[in-house]
Chains A and B, each alone.
Chain A
Amino acid sequence: MTVEGPNGHPLLEVKRLKKNFPIRKGFMRREVGAVRAVDDVSFHIDRGETLSLVGESGCGKTTTARCILRAIDPTDGQILFRPTEDTVFDVAQSTRRELRRLRRDMQMIFQDPFSSLNPRFPLLEIVGEPLLVNGMRSGRERQERVEELLRLVGMRPEYMRRFPHAFSGGQRQRIGIARALALNPRLVVADEPVSALDVSVQAQILNLLLELQQKLGLTYLFVAHDLSVVKHLSDRVAVMYVGRLVEMTDRERLFNSPRHPYTEALLSSVPEPDPRRRSQRIVLEGEVANPAAPPSGCYFHPRCRYAQDVCRTDTPVWEEVAEGHWVACHRGKELELAGVRDRLPMNTAAGNSTNPATNVTPAA
């Protein structure tokens, strides 16, 4: 597997992506306006890395992911995909036929392990479907490949005659992963792959995703809202708010020295599973802006505690404030914001900074 550093061409480049959903009204459902679900979003993903898209519900992260896979058609913008170093496709402009070929190289893992598997198909057909429709006609060949895939995701191959209803949520998610890997994709888009799972099962799936990435040299676009999970899985993180990217940089910088006030608030909202780390939160006032009628200027300004006049009138520019650190904020360069290490203690709890879980000594 060739894993290129940031110097080579990125596997995926999204340029000024836009997606509007029409608002329809009346007897014949005339279009009266549009929700700007994805509004001028640009980023890239290098080969072999994990980029996470985070944000709150309705921020457009899932829509962005679906546009990239062309599960929905983007309104505007480019999605440049390079399955190999010297081929490049604009997914946004591809024809149906081109797409069918491209999709071998980009696959998806779904959030809901129940609705993502057809209950009427046995595993063999679920995992084998991508193989079948992409020309692997021989049943025996398919069966062998499905066996291999099931083993890869930690499932027993004997199970392939079983139907999804025989499996737990975690096992189903493994099946969904096996299906996504059937065609040896380069890019895997994982849309909240663990948020529907029980806490004790989440770790199994996170480990599997990491392991598969190392083994197969996969590139992940990881869409999630749980920041602890995002922190665990990502190389780089992009934060979205009301259809726009507000900040993007590598994991450590984003979590330890964020440059956008929204990122700061988001980080401070995460409850930490350690009572000794109870901290003073930045509690955002008000509600997430309505993407059908967003506020003027910076969409975040009504809730931002650092907002100035310029934020109310001008849309901030998406710019690189430091090497590999992109921010859309008028004060992105000057503000000193708190990361997770700078959390303020809430009460007198002892500030021992080791993780409680690693701190335990197993009983005899």
Chain B
Amino acid sequence: MATLAAGKRRPLLRVHNLKTYFFPDEGTVRAVDGASFEVCAGQTLGIVGESGCGKSVTARSILRIVEHPGEIVEGEIRYLHRTDGREVELDLAQVSADGREMRQIRGGEIAMIFQEPMTSFSPVHPIGSQIVEAIRLHSPLGKREARERAADLLRQVGISRAEARLNEYAYQLSGGLRQRAMIAMALSAEPRVLIADEPTTALDVTTQAQILDLLRQLQTDLGMAIILITHNLGVVAEMCDNVVVMYLGRVVEEGSVDAIFHNPKHPYTRLLLQSIPSLYSEARVPLPTISGAIPHPYNRPEGCPFHDRCPQFIPGTCDRHVPELQALDERESDQLVSCFLYHEPTDERA
């Protein structure tokens, strides 16, 4: 399997035990509570989960753009920073969020695209000048060269009449074109890691297909790593090499896309996959469901966050101890799961 071979390579980005908490007046929200994963060049990592699972906060933590009152309280974000032709491992969790290194990395080596590109473009400047600005921020190009490069980028993301489009404003573009322009801007500094936060959620299926195709093709051409954040399991299955499944701030399962979809271990992953209707499943029959609703972040259950909705809940264990993300067995370290069905509690008391 491709993923196994990739696992041997040195990962570009390794997140270890990342914890990002929010401290509003009312208490603490553990938005990300111990996330670990890694991604290599040329690979796509999917982070899936429902609302409140912390997938977007994870991405924002990597770029160090978590809004107040949130902060990274623990963990490492090890990134292979390329500087003066050498690669230096840098812990992004430790560097200053506004420092020189972070500014070089953010938007340069690690770029991000968002769900709603409308808000990522200024409505008062033409998209061209915004892309030119982004290019010049991370390269010594002059105005004219930067503009040529911007037009090249637009062509690269499949926008026709690129020269003319440079003078248009974000609101003049359709949703799909805006997302393409957004991707062009993200590509301007030739990023090594592209974080795509729900890049197709606001788009129609046919446009979604276009954008996913584009991302895949750009990855083949440029060899960048992609972190794809989405709630859409179909998109994950089509796009990703490895998958991280999150629930209420914690990674519940992690593995190759084939393992996650065809051999899911965590009850949440399994139920989630069963509960979505598919084009191939039998129509008009009751679907298996996950009982209850996602708890409020202030009302997070003790122990395993999923235990109150879990059909395989072990009384006395799941509600008392917090499961750790561990390899399924010693021989095959590819699939990690955080569930007491597979290992004993290690901590004394959660």
Q: Which 3 A-B pairs have the closest CB atoms?
A: A271-B234, A232-B277, A56-B204
Among A210, A269, A353, the residue within 8 A (CB) of B284 is: A210
Interface hub of B207, B210, B293, B312 (most chain A Cβ within 10 A): B293
Contacts of A56 in B (CB 8 A): 204-207
Chain B 218-237 per-residue mask, 1 if CB under 8 angstroms from chain A, else 0: 00000000000001111111
> Once the chains bind, are A271 and B232 in contact (CB under 8 Å)?
yes
Taking CB atoms, residues of chain B closer than 8 Å to A355 are 278, 280-281
Is A270 close to B, CB under 8 A? yes
**Identity of the chain A residue whose Cβ is nearest the Cβ of B241 in the assembled complex:** A275
Contact between B210 and A283, CB atoms less than 8 A apart: yes
Measured CB to CB, the closest approach of chain A to B266, in angstroms, equals 9
Bitwise, A185-219 to B at CB < 8 A (1) or not (0) is 00000000000001111111011001100000000
Interface stretch (choices A2-10, A81-89, A94-102, A221-229):
A221-229
Say yes or no for A103: interface residue by CB 8 A criterion. no
Binds B, one of A68-76, A133-141, A356-364: A356-364
Please report the total number of A residues contacting B with Cβ < 8 Å.
58
CB closest chain-B residue, reference A272:
B234
| Contact residues, B259-285 vs A (CB, 8 A) | 261-265, 270-281, 283-284
A353 to B280, CA, bound (A): 9
- Separation of A201 and B275 alpha carbons in the complex (Å): 9
The answer to whether A231 and B287 touch across the interface, beta carbons within 8 angstroms, is: no
Cβ of A284 within 8 Å of any chain B Cβ, yes or no, is: yes
Cα distance, A267 to B237, chains bound together (Å) = 16
Assess the A357–B293 pair: CB atoms within 8 A. Answer: no
- What residues of chain B have their CB less than 8 Å away from a CB belonging to chain A? 50-51, 174, 176-177, 204-210, 212-213, 231-240, 257-258, 261-265, 270-281, 283-284, 286-290, 293-294, 312, 341-342
Does chain B have a CB within 8 A of A265? yes
Name the residue on A nearest B202 (C-beta): A57
Tally of contacts, chain A with chain B, CB under 8 A? 174
A203 to chain B, nearest CB (A): 4
- Whether the pair B205, A227 counts as a contact (CB closer than 8 A) is yes
B232, B258, B279, B341: the one contacting A275 at CB < 8 Å is: B258
For the complex, give the distance between the alpha carbons of A268 and B239 in Å. 15
CA distance A251 to B294 in the complex (A): 33
Residue of B286, B289, B341 ringed by the most chain A CB atoms within 10 A: B289
CB distance A358 to B274 under 8 Å?
yes
Query: Given the complex, which residues of A lie within 8 Å of B284, measured CB to CB?
Result: 210, 232-233, 235
B174 to chain A, nearest CB (A): 5
Contact of B279 among A228, A281, A359 (CB under 8 A): A228
